[in-house]
Amino acid sequence: MANVYLGLGSNLGDREENLEKAIDALNDFDEIDVKDRSRVLETEPYGKTDQPEFMNMCVAIKTRMSPLSLLETVLGIEHSLGRVREEVWGPRIIDIDILLYEDLELELDDLSIPHKEMHKRSFVLEPLAEIAPDVKHPTLDKTVLELKEDLERGD
């Protein structure tokens, strides 16, 4: 079973309910066990700023799925919760990103692990540091807590 960390975000509709539904949908798969979850944090939109505030959280799962099966699964959950892909970085009912998958480093057309932007995003590092402070980012060779502190200092 692989230890995997996912980042969840929502800024449309009932944001907290959307996050709960996504966690329930993950748990509905035999190959996925949700092991831990951070608090839900309300965060300012990052990147494209003229959109509603987000609710973000991170979850720790154990899974037998391969990285690509897991990607297919999270995209399916996004679809089933009614997400419509319109603009990149735009408002969404639910977004599920694969942040870390064991200490895997993977660079495919459709999937980068670790998630390429995670170390630049406080809406990821803040909740992730609650549940995985000592987990190492395999490429940057720093723990989640160190990455969060670097970002807060503006490094």
Ligand X SMILES: Nc1ncnc2c1ncn2[C@@H]1O[C@H](COP(=O)(O)OP(=O)(O)OP(=O)(O)O)[C@@H](O)[C@H]1O
Ligand Y SMILES: Nc1nc2c(c(=O)[nH]1)N=C(CO)CN2
Q: Of the candidates 54, 74, 96, 144, which one interacts with ligand Y according to CB under 6 A?
A: 54
CB nearer ligand X, residue 1 or residue 84:
84
Answer for the pair 29, 117: CB distance below 8 angstroms, yes or no. no
CB nearer ligand Y, residue 1 or residue 43:
43
Q: How far apart are CA 115 and CA 111, in angstroms?
A: 8
Is 9 a residue that touches ligand Y (CB under 6 A)?
yes
The option from ligand Y, ligand X, none interacting with 27 (CB < 5 to 8 A, set by class) reads: none
Binding site for ligand X (CB under 6 A): 71, 75, 85, 88-89, 95, 97-98, 110-113, 115, 117
The option from ligand X, ligand Y, none interacting with 12 (CB < 5 to 8 A, set by class) reads: none
The option from ligand X, ligand Y, none interacting with 118 (CB < 5 to 8 A, set by class) reads: none
- Catalytic positions, written as ranges: 83, 92, 95, 97
Answer for the pair 59, 5: CB distance below 8 angstroms, yes or no. yes
Interacting residue ranges for ligand Y, rule: CB under 6 A: 9, 43-47, 54, 56, 89, 95, 123
